[in-house]
Structure 1
Amino acid sequence: MNRRKLTALFIVLLTPLFLYPEEIRKETRIFAVKDQQELKMDIYSSCTSSVSAQPCLLFVFGGGFKEGTRDAALYTDYFRYFADKGFQVVSIDYRLGMKGQKAPGIFNNKPLQHAIALAVEDVYSATNYLLQHAGELNIDTSKIIISGSSAGAMTVLQADYEKRDHRETTRVLPDGFQYAGVIAFAGSVFSKEGTPSYDTAPAPTLFFHGSKDKLVPYNKTRFFKLGVFGSKSLAKRFKEQGYPYTFYTMEGIGHDVSEYPMTEFLPEIEQFIRNFVFDKKQWMLEIYLKDKFRKSDTSTDPGSYYK
């Protein structure tokens, strides 16, 4: 066989390796039973075995605490991308405390406060399950990153905030454990004490938020010290205190930012993890991005969403 034919044969044989990504394995487990509801987690991992423990990306879905599923198709690219990069990706259920509730607001905050508390409690239970089964799941417990969309983003930001402040709710987790990073797609923190102040420095955090988001406030909604503090408000606090973070402001965009970065900004998310979580860089980075070609529905607010 001459060299030209041999080269062509190698190209044919190797082409599938480049065209088709590595196979991803999915396993479903029950991590808790609460209020007569089985809470499940899907674990996505590469079929290639790894000798060393792998970082873990724990994801919390969105849906206003009233709807949504852990395995919605819109998250598939996100899960597969990081599983293919050597992460154990875990997407979890949580109890939906806003089902059947009216739109939350400053003077109707108890249902939302309760819903956030339920979701955070379930994130801690899932985290504890991963810590207890880290060996068999091949998870590096020092590299558990929490990530969420919309209500899920609120949940993960709240979970890290309460853990750093040593709240009573965090006792299910070991004293020395802290999340290694937080990734929030249009999230916020609920606080009765004004802009959140952390007893212990928070995890390096990646914020994505649309400047015209009316469903989850880009900046904040408050009445005296009680309020919902969005990405802009939190990033300002991080900057004042010197906490490492990256903040993407999507100018002129509404609540869409809770979803599309998980398909369109995957390399940027990965780079944040490598820089801030793995390499522990102490950067404070703010990016204002205006996409002239992206159209956004900026009309969605709590009143229209919770009908």
Structure 2
Amino acid sequence: MSRLFYACLFFIIFQSTEAQQKYVDSLFAVGKTQTEVYAEKNNEKLIIDLYFPENNDEKRPLIVFMHGGGFAGGSPKNPQEVKFARMAAARGYAVGLISYRLSRKGQSFGCDYDAEGKMETFQKAATDLMDGFKYLKDHSADLKIDPEITVVGGSSAGAEAVLNAVYNPQLMFKNSENYSEINISAVMSLAGALLDVRYITEDLAIPGIFFHGTKDNLVPYATAPHHYCKTSDPGYLILDGSKTIVERLEQLDTSYLFYSFQDARHEISGMPFEYLPEVFEFLQKVVFDKTKIQSSIYK
């Protein structure tokens, strides 16, 4: 009887293990955080805090995430982002939480700050992001990173930098060819927006994951002025938010996962831990299995 019991128990454990999927389920312990300085600009060291799965010697796909904070604050050591990084690393990803130039530290990024300055702020942060990617690609062998499978995400200001870098490189970089060797597999945006969806061509139509509140008071859900500035304000600048971006991706027959939160404001820029299982499933199916998914979910 006991032999039969242990045989059945082994079979159940084996079946359970077989059912678990790398990149979807938590399979690995997470090692000690590794900090790399990827650039020094204006006498400031810009860093990437890296999180790796332990006991996994193969090349790991990469997730890079940019924190929010209105280009004035925030840090790659924010507890929410660190928790996310450890969750993703436990699933087999290498994860980099990246710092960037906080061009508006101690200053406004609202309607009193001119639109040209806002554009320059986006450009600086987008450039920092891509320089971070270049560093990781150049050191991918030592870091055991697969530079051909990369996901980039951001929250609020970080999402604006990410979306503009990926979908509007013509508006961000003097020469976007400088970053042509960087391969982005998917984008994740928490309450983000970009300058102009009309610049998203078929070549730039990368699969995206979007979370946004329909009543976001800072970053438009669809198409509207940044911070809802008046036309007479110096900071009047039209941005295309998640809804408009998703509509463009649908036109271009590109995969997306879009969560809209009815009447929610800018708090949707927080890490959506409740929905991360669906995020990891989407990445598995779209990035690794090459399945097309176009899903809009209203909460």
Q: Aligned to 2:293, which of 283, 290, 302?
A: 283
The answer to whether the 8 Å contact 1:221/1:228 transfers is yes
C-alpha contact (below 8 Å) 1:70/1:92 kept by paired residues: yes
Which string of whole-angstrom CA distances, capped at 9 and with x for unpartnered residues, describes residues 84-135 of structure 1?
0010000111001222333434983122211111110100110000110010
Residues in 1 aligned to 2:170 and 2:108: alpha-carbon distance in whole angstroms: 31
CA distance in 1 between counterparts of 2:75 and 2:164 reads 20
1:86 aligns with 2:92: yes
Deviations 1:23-56 (A, max 9, x none): 4321011110011110011000112132x21100
Give, in whole Å, the separation in 2 of the partners of 1:79 and 1:45. 9
Relative distance call for 1:25 and 1:170 in structure 2 (3 A) is: farther
Corresponding position: 1:69 with 2:75: yes
Provide the alpha-carbon RMSD of the alignment. Answer: 2.8
- 1:137-157 per-residue CA deviation (whole Å, 9 max, x = no partner) reads 111111111011111111111
Distance change >3 Å, CA 86–CA 187, structure 1 → 2: same
> Which residue number in structure 2 is paired with residue 231 of structure 1?
242
Matched residues in 1 for 2:138 and 2:219: separation?
A: 34
The correspondence of residues 224-303 of structure 1 with structure 2, limited to 5 A, is 227-261=238-272, 263-289=273-299
Q: CA 1:148–1:132 in 2, change beyond 3 Å: closer, same or farther?
A: same
CA distance in 2, matches of 1:108, 1:220: 19
Which residue does the alignment assign to 1:60? 66
Contact 2:160–2:194 at 8 Å: present in 1 too?
yes
2:214 to 211, 215, 229: 211
Q: Aligned to 1:186, which of 183, 186, 191?
A: 191
Of residues 124, 137, 158, the one that matches 2:130 is: 124
TM-aligned CA deviation for residue 77 of structure 1:
2.0
| Aligned position for 1:140 | 146
1:172 offset after TM fit, Å?
Answer: 3.2
Q: Distance in 1 between matches of 2:215 and 2:31?
A: 36
1:226 is displaced (CA, Å) by: 5.8
* Partner AA of 1:151 in structure 2: A
Q: Deviations over 1:189-234 (max 9, x none)?
A: 024xx744326242111011111111111112257x9621110111
Instruction: Tell me the residue number matched to 1:49.
Output: 56
SS at match of 1:145: strand
User: Hey, what's the Cα distance between the residues in 2 that align with 1:258 and 1:145?
Assistant: 18
Q: Does the Cα contact within 8 Å between 2:28 and 2:55 map onto a contact in 1? A: no
Determine if contact 1:188/1:216 at 8 Å carries over to the other structure.
yes
Instruction: Tell me, in whole angstroms, the C-alpha distance in 1 between the residues paired with 2:171 and 2:296.
Output: 25
TM-score (ref. length: structure 1): 0.80
Separation in structure 2 between the aligned mates of residue 106 and residue 234 of structure 1, nearest angstrom: 26
Please give the alpha-carbon distance, in whole angstroms, between the structure 1 residues aligned to 2:119 and 2:109. Answer: 12
Amino acid at match of 1:189: L
CA-to-partner distance for each residue in 1:151-199, whole Å, 9 max, x for gaps?
Answer: 11111111111348895343432x34331110011110024xx744326
Partner SS for 1:94: coil
Structure 2 unaligned spans of 5+: 14-26, 226-230
The change in CA–CA distance for 1:106 and 1:251 in structure 2 (over 3 A counts) is farther
**Stretches of structure 1 lacking an aligned partner (at least 5 in a row):** 15-19, 290-307
Code of the residue aligned with 2:192 in structure 1: it is G
Give SS of 2:195's match.
Answer: strand
Tell me, yes or no, if the aligned pair for 1:128 and 1:172 is still in contact at 8 Å.
no
Aligned residues: 273
Match of 2:41 among 13, 34, 42: 34
CA contact (8 A) 1:32 1:126 kept: yes
SS in 2 for 1:168: coil
